[in-house]
Chain A
Amino acid sequence: MHQAVTFPPLTRHKVMKVDSFHTLILPLREKLFRHAYGIVRDRAEAEDILQDLLLKLWSRPEEWKEIDNPEAYCYRAIRNMSLDRLAAASNRKSVLPRPDEEERSFIDSESPHSRLVRKEQQELIVQCLSQLPERQQVVFRLREIEEMSYRQIADTLVISENLVKVSLFRARKKMQELLSGQELPGGREMQASPVKHREI
C-alpha cells in the first residue's frame, strides 16, 4: 500500500538518543495518525498535524535529546496539537457525517434511520470519550484501537501496568454507563429518537 520510502539519514546528529527518531518515532506514525484522527475526525487534518509534529521533532535534535520517553511524548504532543486544531476549527465543526465516515460504514443492511441513529450514537461516544481524563483516553485508544497489551501500554506511557488496567476499567465503565442509559450528559436516554444532539 505504501511505496517504499527511505527517510534521510541523521548525518548531523551525533547523540545516540537522537537516532530514536528513526527507530522509535517514525514507525509510530500510523498509530499517531489514528490518534490525531480520533480527535479531529478529519483525515487530512490528522495527516497535517502528524507531519507538523514529525517535522518539528526532526528539526530540533537538541530538544529531542532532553526527552526521556519519546513515545509517551509523541502521544501527548499529537493529542495536544489535535486539540488545538480542534479548538481553532470549532466554528466549522459539524455533526453531519463526513465523507470519509460514509465510506467506512460497513453495515449495508441498515436503514437510513438506523444509520443516522448509529451515527449519532457514535458521535455521543466520541463526545463522551473526549471528556474523559487524558490518561483514560489514551489508554483506551492504545488498547481498543491499537490493540497493545497492558505491558506495552505501560512501557509506552511510562506508567505501571496496574494503572493501565485501572484507567481502562474506568473508561470502559463510562462507556457502559453511557450506553445502558444509566448515565448520560443531560440525563437523556441513549435509545431515544435521534433528536437534539446539540443539547449535550
Chain B
Amino acid sequence: MKKDQIAALLNKYWRCETTVAEEQELRRFFAEEELPEELQQYAPLFSYIAEEHAPRLSRGFDRRLEESLRHAGATPLRQQRIPRRAMLMRVAASFLLIVGLGVSLFFITRQQNNPHFTERGDEDTQVLEQATEALEKLADALLMSEEASRETLRQINELEIDWELIDSLSSDTTPEEADPVTEIDDAEEPHPAVDSWQENEKAIYNEMSKREEKI
C-alpha cells in the first residue's frame, strides 16, 4: 500500500469510518511495512491492538471450568439456602412472640402492682365501678322484675279469675247487660269467686309488695 493510501486510510480510521477488514489491513501495515516518519508515532497503538488479539484461554481452562461447574451443580446450594431463610424467619417469629409476651406481661403486672398510679385514674376507676354497679343492679332488677312479672302472671292464671266479673264490678255497666238472675243472686250473697277474688287480690298485692321490697 502506498504512503498516500495509508495516510488516507488512517484518517478514515480516526473518523471511525473504516471497516473491520480495513482496520486489519492497517494493523498489518504498521507491523510489517516500513513506516513513513510522520506515521511512525502511531505504530505503538496498532502493535498494542495486535498483541491484545493474541491472548487465548489456556488449554486446561475448559476442563477446569467444567469440573468446578459440576462440583457446584452437585452441591445443592438451593436447598441449603431455603432452610436458612426459613430458619431465619422462624427465629424472628419466635423472637417477636417472646418480646410480645414480655411486653404484655410487663404491662399487666404493672397495672396490678400499682393501683394508685394516678389521681385521675382513681376517680375514673371509681366512676367506672359505680356505673358498673348501677348497671348490674339495673340488670338484676330487670331480670327480677321479669321473673316477678312472670310469677305474677302465673299466679294470676292459677287463680282462674273471672275477669268478666271483675269488669262488671268495677264498671258502670247497667245490670241489664248482665244476666239479671245471676247477677242479683251474686250481689246478695258473696259469690265465692268474689270472695276468693278479693283475697287473691290482696295476696297478689302483698306478693308484689314483697318483691318490690326485695328490689
| Chain A residues at the B interface, C-beta cutoff of 8 Å | 1-3, 5-8, 12, 29-30, 33-34, 37-38, 43, 46-47, 50-51, 54-55, 58-60, 101, 104, 106-107, 118, 121-122, 124-126, 141, 144-145, 147, 149, 165, 168-169, 172-173, 175-176, 179-181, 190-191
Contact = CB atoms under 8 A, between A and B. Distances in A.
Interface stretch (B13-21, B92-100, B123-131): B13-21
The 8 nearest A-B residue pairs measured at CB: A121-B44, A5-B62, A37-B55, A145-B52, A122-B48, A144-B49, A59-B72, A169-B16
B44 A179 contact: yes
Contact of A51 (B24, B41, B52, B68): B68
B77 A59 contact: yes
B31 interface: yes
Given A58-B69, A144-B49, A5 B63 contact: yes
A169 B57 CA distance: 30
A54 B55 contact: no
Nearest to B72: A59
A55 B47 contact: no
A107 B31 contact: yes
Given A2-B57, A29-B65, A34-B52, 10 more contacts: A7-B65, A8-B73, A33-B56, A46-B55, A54-B65, A54-B69, A122-B51, A144-B23, A172-B14, A175-B45
Nearest to B62: A5
A5 B23 contact: no
Contacts of B73: 8, 12, 58
B55 A55 contact: no
A173 B42 contact: no
Of listed B55, B61, B73, residue having the most chain A CB within 10 A: B55
Interface in B34-79: 41-45, 47-59, 61-66, 68-70, 72-73, 77-78
A145 B63 CA distance: 25
A1 B52 contact: no
Interface of B: 13-16, 20, 23-24, 31, 41-45, 47-59, 61-66, 68-70, 72-73, 77-78
B44 A30 contact: no
A interface SS class: helix
Contacts of A60: 77
B169 to A, nearest CB: 98
A158 to B, nearest CB: 20
A179 B45 contact: yes
A58 B58 contact: no
Contact of B61 (A47, A104, A176): A47
B41 A191 contact: yes
20 contacts: A3-B59, A3-B63, A5-B65, A8-B69, A29-B57, A29-B65, A33-B56, A34-B53, A37-B55, A43-B55, A50-B57, A51-B65, A51-B68, A55-B69, A60-B77, A106-B50, A118-B44, A122-B48, A145-B49, A172-B13
Contacts of A168: 16
Contacts of B54: 104
B11 to A, nearest CB: 10
Contacts of B56: 1, 30, 33
Contacts of A125: 44-45, 48
Nearest to B13: A172
A144 B13 contact: no
Contacts of B43: 118
B44 to A, nearest CB: 4
A30 to B, nearest CB: 6
Contacts of B70: 8
B14 A2 contact: no
A126 B48 contact: yes
A181 to B, nearest CB: 7
B62 A51 contact: no
Contacts of A8: 66, 69-70, 73
